């Protein structure tokens, strides 16, 4: 018989932390805390295998599931001292999701399950606290109706607000027991009006409805979006944890909260988090009420007036801190815990590895090595490579003028400036139009995730450091200011007010996610300097990685930036990018439109000293590191004039007529230029172009060496080779230029000749091509295009549907198609090395900065990856993690 249900409680559990795939993260950690003897309310976990069964069998359950659930429920009741549905001693339950990786706020939760008119009255008598009983009941009706029955929660908020207004009160806590009992009745009446059937009072119907809703939420739009953004496989499914309720809303000695064992924004070692007195957990994470800090130190730093948990509940705080320290020692990682204090007694509801900013991840990892908690190799694995992008966000220029209009909590670091949008849809639309956006909301909800992803920064009026906005923004690396209570937001009117300042939709705001400050208009930004913990972790990463990391750089500025980030050379210098300068483009167009060799050479003579100067500056900056220069690659149409005045400029420079130039442009037009007259085909038909570039490269290298600079490790790359004969012909041309320079100057710099492998034929014939090529650089952007037959410029029109329908797991232009394109890379590497054992192999497409693609490159035995300057740290860390992962697999 398959075991579908695992029980826990009373200091023991059937599961353990290693069973994450089966029990989900929440279920596995609840079991582990129970085994550790921590105060965990008893419960059961329905496994992820049931979720898989549920979707594979028409939303039905295994036949023996109910019996296993009933048996575990009986055990929960024995430990908790109650029975589900018993008016005398009612057992109330929470029903929560729990995927194997944390998906905060993306799936559904139901609290206070098991209440109906009889059990609510029984709970009131049992506790002697009718207000608590009916507060729990009205919360249950609202949450269950929203999550399970699909009745909009806003309808219940309207009823609640109307009742408070009628009594002249502002706070929910000012409502008495009779008020709450009346509101529960109004809620149930509204449900019946909306659905045409009554709210369910049968507790078994409630339980199975909630379990089904949690499984159903695995495929909710927000969960689907989160999985897509975080590359979480659809077939993992979620577990469901059913747990005896403990209550933070039983008066002033009860509370609920969320805590981190270290500051999730900075990594500082202190108990950091928020709590609410006389509340339930959803109040904290939903941002409905702005909570109070856990520790006194944080309250003082934030300038808060209301007492911290440390001050208001010192005994519970001390126990929570001790448990946090124990959990961190046990898991050897920073923990994010949820807890409830019920009438002075602390209960632990969840623990998991805490989501943190890149800055916090770096500091925590480095500090934990110093504390002896982990070693350096573990520290290297503790930071997500892509998360390093957070450290590359701009910060406010301290000297820039600014007009502060309000301040909230600095919930996710970094500064951002952009146009104000009041809905997720507005933000997404503006971002699609290439506008920088600040998403402004009273509070965010999981349905806003697409707008949060599109925005440069997020600002909310309500919520704290552990609200949805804060947690999701930190995970995404978006600057966020939350809990800016002075803000009045009217999304329908399209404006926000801070004091006497009104900001309308489309106007500019700047936020500082580190300090919580909000500024009217645009404030100057500056780039961060990467030192301290970053440098320490990168040093540890460099000690274990095998792959070299180069950069794609076309200017000395790019090269300098990349070197600052640790680049070990240039893997791709695109010479065509040097031609788009306004002063150069006329000579380029003159060269292209010339219909004789003499005309082209005249134009090329103007470009030679310009190219030579460009290369000399880059070689100087790289100071002896390898530099791979790709000769002219793109289709000539990209340089052609389009406007009348542009034709006139070229005609004047060339001493020709506009009509003649237009006729020449018509001849050069191509139906499919990406597969047309480009790359080495230009060098074959117009050899003088590549000869000029070769001369500029070699003379620049010679000039640097003659000035006392380090010898240039020069690699000349011929693009788009499909036939060995193409490479042979052009290599001979370059050799001829080198001989001419040697004859003229008495010497010539050393150089290597190689090619980009970006055509399937080149990959398949790599063994033959390697007879001439001394290195291969895989141009995976074009190799992906030519292998799959998809234009990267047009793929956006339909690839999204492929992803949504599960036809492909990742965009092949973002992360390498391992089975297709990857197979060609492996073939080329194997055949190239069979011919030339010491051939140098690298990758220079955008995949060079993608952690998953870097793992593939490591496993395939390539020598280096090359990526944009700001992705160099990402690549260095990803290469180290790939090396560690492979060594673990090989053991």
Q: Which residues are catalytic?
A: 468, 844
CA distances from 455 to 406, 443, 477, 659 (A): 20, 15, 11, 47
- Residue 632 DSSP symbol: P
Helix (H) / strand (E) element for 734: namely helix 724-745
Give the strand order in the sheet containing 517-520. Answer: 404-407, 517-520, 508-512, 415-421, 437-441, 457-460, 480-482, 409-412
State how far the Cα of 289 lies from the Cα of 804, in Å rounded to an integer.
35
Token readout for 869 is 């300057």
Place of tokens 């908690």: 373
Rg, C-alpha atoms of the chain:
32
Both tokens assigned to 324: 């946090």
Q: How far apart are alpha carbons 797 and 529 in whole angstroms? A: 38
Calpha distance 79→44 (Å, rounded): 12
Q: Are 255 and 309 within 8 A, CB to CB? A: yes
Cβ atoms of residues 452 and 479 within 8 Å: no
* Structure-token match 């957070």, residue found: 390
Please tell me the distance from the alpha carbon of residue 433 to that of residue 428, in angstroms, as a whole number.
Answer: 9
- DSSP code, position 423: S
Cα distance between residue 722 and residue 245, in whole Å: 68
From its phi and psi, is residue 390 left (phi > 0), alpha (psi between -120 and 50) or beta? alpha
What is the Cα–Cα distance from 630 to 390, expressed in whole angstroms? 31
Q: What is the rounded distance in angstroms from the CA atom of residue 55 to the CA atom of residue 315? A: 46
- Across 779-797, b (16+ Cβ under 10 Å) vs e yields bbebbbbbbbebebeebee
Q: For residue 663, what are its two tokens?
A: 């006729």
Helix ranges, 754-863 (H):
760-764, 766-769, 780-788, 799-804, 821-835, 851-859
Spatial distance between the Cα atoms of 348 and 364, rounded to a whole number of angstroms: 23
Task: State in Å, rounded, how far the first CA of the chain is from the last one.
Answer: 35
């Amino acid at each position: 018989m398959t075991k579908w249900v695992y029980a826990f409680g009373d200091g023991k559990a059937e599961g353990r932390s290693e069973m994450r795939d089966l029990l989900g993260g929440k279920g596995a950690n609840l079991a582990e805390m129970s085994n550790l003897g921590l105060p965990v309310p008893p419960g059961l976990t329905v496994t992820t295998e049931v979720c898989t069964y549920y979707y594979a069998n028409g939303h039905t359950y295994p036949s023996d599931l109910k019996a296993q659930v009933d048996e575990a429920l009986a055990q929960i009741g024995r430990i908790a001292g109650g029975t589900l549905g018993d008016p005398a001693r009612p057992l109330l339950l929470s029903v929560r999701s729990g995927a194997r990786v944390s998906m905060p706020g993306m799936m559904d939760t139901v609290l206070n399950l098991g209440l109906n008119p009889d059990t609510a009255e029984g709970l009131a008598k049992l506790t002697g606290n009718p207000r608590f009983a009916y507060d729990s009941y009205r919360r249950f009706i609202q949450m269950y109706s929203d999550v399970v029955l699909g009745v909009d929660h806003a309808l219940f908020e309207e009823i609640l607000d109307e009742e408070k207004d009628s009594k002249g009160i502002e706070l929910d806590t000012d409502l008495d027991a009779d008020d709450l009992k009346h509101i529960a009745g109004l809620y149930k009446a509204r449900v019946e009006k909306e659905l045409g059937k009554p709210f369910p009072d049968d507790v078994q119907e409630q339980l199975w409805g909630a379990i089904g809703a949690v499984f159903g939420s695995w495929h909710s739009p927000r969960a689907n979006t989160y999985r897509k953004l975080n590359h979480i496989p659809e077939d993992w499914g979620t577990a469901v944890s059913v747990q005896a309720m403990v209550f933070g809303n039983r008066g002033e000695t009860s509370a609920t909260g969320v805590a981190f064992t270290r500051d999730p924004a900075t990594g500082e070692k202190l108990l950091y988090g928020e709590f609410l007195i006389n509340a339930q957990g959803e109040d904290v994470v939903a941002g409905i009420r702005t909570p109070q800090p856990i520790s006194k130190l944080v309250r003082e730093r934030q300038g808060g007036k209301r007492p911290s948990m440390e001050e208001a509940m010192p005994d519970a705080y001390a126990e929570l801190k001790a448990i946090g320290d124990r959990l961190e020692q046990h898991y050897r990682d920073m923990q994010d815990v949820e807890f409830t204090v019920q009438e002075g007694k602390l209960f632990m509801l969840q623990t998991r590895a805490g989501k943190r900013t890149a800055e916090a991840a770096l500091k925590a990892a480095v500090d934990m090595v110093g504390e002896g908690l982990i070693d350096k190799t573990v520290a290297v694995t503790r930071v997500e490579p892509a998360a390093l992008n957070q450290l590359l966000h701009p910060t406010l220029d301290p000297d820039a003028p600014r007009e502060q209009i309000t301040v909230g909590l600095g919930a996710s670091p970094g500064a951002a400036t952009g146009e104000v949008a009041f809905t997720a849809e507005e933000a997404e639309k503006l971002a699609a139009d290439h506008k920088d956006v600040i998403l402004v909301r009273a509070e965010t909800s999981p349905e806003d995730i697409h707008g949060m992803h599109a925005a440069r920064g997020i600002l909310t009026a309500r919520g704290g450091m552990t609200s949805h906005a804060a947690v999701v923004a930190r995970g995404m690396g978006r600057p966020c200011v939350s809990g800016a209570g002075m803000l009045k937001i009217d999304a329908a009117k399209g404006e926000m007010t801070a004091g006497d300042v009104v900001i309308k939709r489309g106007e500019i705001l700047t936020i500082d996610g580190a300090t919580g400050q909000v500024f009217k208009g645009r404030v100057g930004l500056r780039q961060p300097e990467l030192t301290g913990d970053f440098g320490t972790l990168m040093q540890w990463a460099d000690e274990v990685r095998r792959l070299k990391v180069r950069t794609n750089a076309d200017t000395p500025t790019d090269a300098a930036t990349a070197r600052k980030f640790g680049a070990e050379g240039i893997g791709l210098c695109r010479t065509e990018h040097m031609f788009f300068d306004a002063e150069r483009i006329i000579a380029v167009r003159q060269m292209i439109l010339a219909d004789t060799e003499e005309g082209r050479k005249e134009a090329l003579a103007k470009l030679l000293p310009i190219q030579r100067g460009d290369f000399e500056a880059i070689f100087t900056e790289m100071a002896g590191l390898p530099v791979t220069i790709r000769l002219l690659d793109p289709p000539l149409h990209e340089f052609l004039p389009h406007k009348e005045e542009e034709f006139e400029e070229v005609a004047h420079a060339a001493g020709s007529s506009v009509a003649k130039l237009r006729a020449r442009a018509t001849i050069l037009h191509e139906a499919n230029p990406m597969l047309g007259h480009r790359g080495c085909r230009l060098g074959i038909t117009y050899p003088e172009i590549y000869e000029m570039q070769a001369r500029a490269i070699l003379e620049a290298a010679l000039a640097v060496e003659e000035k006392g600079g380090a010898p240039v490790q020069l690699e000349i790359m011929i693009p788009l080779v499909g036939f060995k004969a193409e490479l042979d012909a052009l290599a001979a041309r370059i050799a001829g230029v080198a001989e001419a320079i040697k004859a003229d100057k008495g010497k010539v710099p050393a150089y290597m000749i190689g090619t980009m492998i970006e055509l399937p034929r080149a990959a398949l014939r790599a063994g033959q091509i390697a007879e001439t090529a001394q290195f291969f650089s895989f141009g995976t952007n074009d190799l992906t295009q030519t292998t799959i037959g998809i234009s990267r410029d047009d793929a956006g029109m339909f690839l999204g549907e492929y992803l949504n329908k599960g036809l492909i797991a990742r965009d092949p232009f973002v992360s390498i198609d391992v089975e297709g394109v990857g197979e060609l890379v492996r073939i080329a590497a194997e055949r190239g090395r069979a011919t030339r054992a010491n051939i140098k192999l690298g990758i220079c497409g955008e995949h060079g900065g993608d952690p998953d693609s870097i793992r593939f490159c490591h496993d395939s035995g390539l020598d280096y990856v090359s990526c944009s300057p700001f992705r160099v740290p990402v690549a260095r860390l990803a290469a180290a993690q790939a090396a560690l992962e492979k060594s673990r697999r090989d053991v």
